[in-house]
Amino acid sequence: MADEGGLLAVGGDLSVKRLVLAYSMGIFPWYSEGYPILWWSPDPRLILIPEEIKVSKTLRQTIRQGRFRVTVNEAFEEVIRNCATVKRKGEHGTWITEEMISAYIRLHKAGYAHSVESWDEDGLAGGLYGVMMGRAFFGESMFTKRSNASKVALVVYATELGHNGCELIDCQVTTKHMKSLGAKEIPRAEFMKRLDKALKGGAAAP
């Protein structure tokens, strides 16, 4: 029922119950300040299979050197607020509004939303957050303050997810950055089949 761009519905709320239901149906919220809540289910869908992640020689060396310490769920609010405020090349503003931040903090407290942090001697250097349901991880956003910090967080976490049986990481919309890491586009129908299977399994990891 989504339009060509993937827009499916307008309105509703960001309650934990509604967000969990939406993600279980392959739908996610994405909108800007001052607009109603927009719900999306794009076709094609970008996904990353944990075992298929591409790690460059330089990135692999950075991980081996232990330049960053990677943790899970140690600083969820700090991560999501950095995702909202750290500037990205070619982007203006943010879709991570205060309403979204509050909603995902509630989702985190309910055990669904998780953060991954990269730390160095100066503190939080990068990270990402998303939603875990069954054996599927829905990636929401990532940020970096130091070169490769967020990539290290993603690679380390994706590897852990793969070891724990995660079947897919949903990257939602296509970006060159995620494709460079091994993400691929698949038709929405195939995504829904994969998601249905992943949701029937036990949780892969926090």
Would you say 112 and 71 are in contact if contact means Cβ atoms under 8 Å apart? no
Residue 139 lies in a domain: yes
Confidence at residue 1, expressed as pLDDT on a 0 to 100 scale: 64
Number of domains in the chain: 1
Residue 178 domain-assigned?
Answer: yes
Coil/strand/helix, residue 188: helix
Instruction: Classify residue 63: in a domain, yes or no.
Output: yes
User: What confidence score (pLDDT) does residue 2 get?
Assistant: 63
The per-residue pLDDT for 86 is: 86
Low-confidence residues of the chain, pLDDT below 50? Answer: 92-93
Residue 137 belongs to some domain of the structure: yes
Question: Closest Cα to residue 125, out of 85, 157, 82, 184?
Answer: 82
Backbone angles phi, psi at 175, to 5 degrees: -135, 150
CATH assignment of the domain containing 167:
3.40.630.70
In a domain, 2, yes or no: no
172 neighbors 139 (Cβ within 8 angstroms): yes
This prediction has a pTM of 0.93
pLDDT score of 103 = 98
Amino acid type, 103: A
Q: How far is it, in rounded angstroms, from Cα 105 to Cα 94?
A: 17
**pLDDT score, position 52:** 96
| DSSP SS3 for 174 | coil
> Is 206 part of a structural domain of the chain?
no
- Full domain range(s) for residue 128: 7-199
In a domain, 205, yes or no: no
The confidence score (pLDDT) of residue 61 equals 96
- Within a domain: 1: no
